[in-house]
Amino acid sequence: MKVNQFSPWVGTEEYQAIADCFESNWITEGPKSKEFSAKLLDLIGAKYGVFAPNGTLALYLGLRAMDIGLGDQVIVPDITFIASGTSVHMAGATPVFVEVNRENFQIDLSHADHLVNEKTKAIMPVHIYGTIADMDSVTQFAQKHNLMVIEDAAAALGVHYKGKHAATFGDIGTFSFFADKTITTGEGGFVVTNNQEMHQKLLYLRNQGRVDRGSFIHPEMGYNFRMTDIQAAIGLVQLDKLPRIIARKEEIKQYYLERLGKIEEISFLTPGQGAEWIPFRVAILANNAQAIRDFMKDKGVEPRTLFYPLHKQPCFAYLKETNPQNMKSDNFPNSIYAYENGISLPSFPALTEEQIDYVCSVLEAYYGK
């Protein structure tokens, strides 16, 4: 049997939704985008929101709206997708990496005071693998050091911490609608804030330095970071599917927990207290992870590691010249452990019962169960 790491849950409904854009002859950002934005804001509980072409540019827009730029520093967890760090670089600032915890590899600020200096302007908690960071500790740390907070909630749509939705704790939060996210528009991103001034900056930044389209007078410097109504039409269908997506991901998660939980050599990432968990992937930890991934691949199950530590990324090697102490692997034992021992299991909603059973059977076979 072949089991992919991921396959998007799209079909006839999304295909039919696109047709309306062609019938109305409105394919760029318009009424569908306005409706999609309103429904997203209602779900998330934020006052303002703007779209971006993807999650990376959503982070970039958020950083720029916070006036993060040349000479500034932003604290970023060492275990996350590369875009969390490269968006800071793109804004002209410098990412400073911080260790993650061992339980679920969310940002750990218990020993991070020494990372703050006069250049530090913000902190970026990243809610990875479908759960959410301890936002009490993040907000307390930010208040203590007078830092702004930008939440990377790319994989955390629908996820709450103590009843409050991800991306609404800080100054700005961002989401991604890439193909493997909770809902997808193929590519796409969303930036939310409760700060009216930052929202106004976002409007100018994403629309060529103007608020209204059709004008050739541009009061501020801006760019084209819009989406299309074709994407929004898909997003609206996906948003209607969200309760079913969440329910199905919960079923898959529980099946893995019950079946693979019997294998003592395997452990699972678990959410922190007060944090929900809608798995982006169901991640397990095991010794000899590379051998297990090779075995899975041989049996037709596509494996994947957890994220590669940012401090080890070749593209960030230049930081060793300016901040060698922060780039030492001794500072990041949990990040390294995550990469070396982590395995992402297929967890997409369209996964069949037979496929889930097969994934578990393959892992059981590896351990001789």
- Calculate the CA 219 to chain-centre distance: 33
Task: Show me where the domains of the chain are located.
Answer: 12-236, 242-366
Judged against a pLDDT cut of 90, whether residue 215 lies above it is answered with: no
User: pLDDT tens digits for 343-362?
Assistant: 999 999 999 999 999 999 99
Q: Is 264 exposed, middle or buried (0-12, 13-18, 19+ CB in 10 A)?
A: exposed
| Contact partners, residue 323, CB within 8 Å, separation at least 6 | 94, 96
Q: Is 321 exposed, middle or buried (0-12, 13-18, 19+ CB in 10 A)?
A: exposed
Q: Nearest 10 degrees: CA dihedral of 285, 179, 183, 160?
A: 30
- Return the pLDDT at 207: 94
Mean pLDDT score, 159-174: 98
DSSP state of 346: P
CA distance linking residue 341 with residue 362, whole number of Å: 18
In this structure, are residues 189 and 58 in contact, taking their beta carbons and an 8 Å threshold? Answer: yes
| Fold match between domain 12-236 and domain 242-366 | no
CA distance linking residue 131 with residue 154, whole number of Å: 11
pTM, entire model? 0.96
Rounded mean pLDDT of the chain? Answer: 96
E strand intervals along 134-272: 148-152, 160-161, 164-165, 172-176, 189-193, 267-268
Sheet holding 73-77, edge to edge: 48-52, 189-193, 172-176, 148-152, 120-123, 73-77, 94-98
What CATH fold (topology level) applies to the domain 242-366?
Aspartate Aminotransferase, domain 1 (3.90.1150)
- Return the pLDDT at 214: 79
DSSP state of 324: G
Amino acid identity at 208: Q
User: pLDDT tens digits for 29-88?
Assistant: 999 999 999 999 999 999 999 999 999 999 999 999 999 999 999 999 999 999 999 999
Higher pLDDT, 210 or 369: 210
CA distance linking residue 342 with residue 267, whole number of Å: 10
- Return the pLDDT at 349: 96
What is the CATH code for 12-236? 3.40.640.10
Percent over 90 (pLDDT), the chain: 97
Buried b (16+ CB within 10 A) or exposed e, 69-87: eeebbbbbbbbbbebbbbb
Mean pLDDT score, 157-185: 98
**CA 103 to each of CA 4, 130, 236, 268: distance values in angstroms, whole numbers, following the listed order:** 27, 14, 35, 9
Rounded to 10 deg, the angle between the 229-260 and 353-366 helix axes is: 40
In this structure, are residues 130 and 278 in contact, taking their beta carbons and an 8 Å threshold? Answer: yes
Judged against a pLDDT cut of 90, whether residue 321 lies above it is answered with: yes
Judged against a pLDDT cut of 90, whether residue 189 lies above it is answered with: yes
User: pLDDT tens digits for 264-289?
Assistant: 999 999 899 999 999 999 999 999 99
- Return the pLDDT at 369: 79
Grade residue 4 by pLDDT with cuts at 50, 70 and 90: very high
Least confident segment among 159-163, 251-255, 322-326:
322-326
CA distance linking residue 300 with residue 361, whole number of Å: 12
DSSP state of 228: B
- Strand-pair category, 267-268 with 282-285: antiparallel
β-partners of residue 50 are: 191
- Return the pLDDT at 213: 80
Percent over 70 (pLDDT), the chain: 100
Sheet holding 282-285, edge to edge: 267-268, 282-285, 342-345
**CA 121 to each of CA 117, 254, 309, 334, 344: distance values in angstroms, whole numbers, following the listed order:** 9, 40, 22, 25, 33
CA-nearest of 155, 163, 114, 96 to 283 is: 155
- Return the pLDDT at 147: 98
CA distance linking residue 65 with residue 203, whole number of Å: 9
| Contact partners, residue 193, CB within 8 Å, separation at least 6 | 46, 47, 48, 49, 62, 65, 171, 172, 173, 199, 202
Mean pLDDT score, 214-227: 91
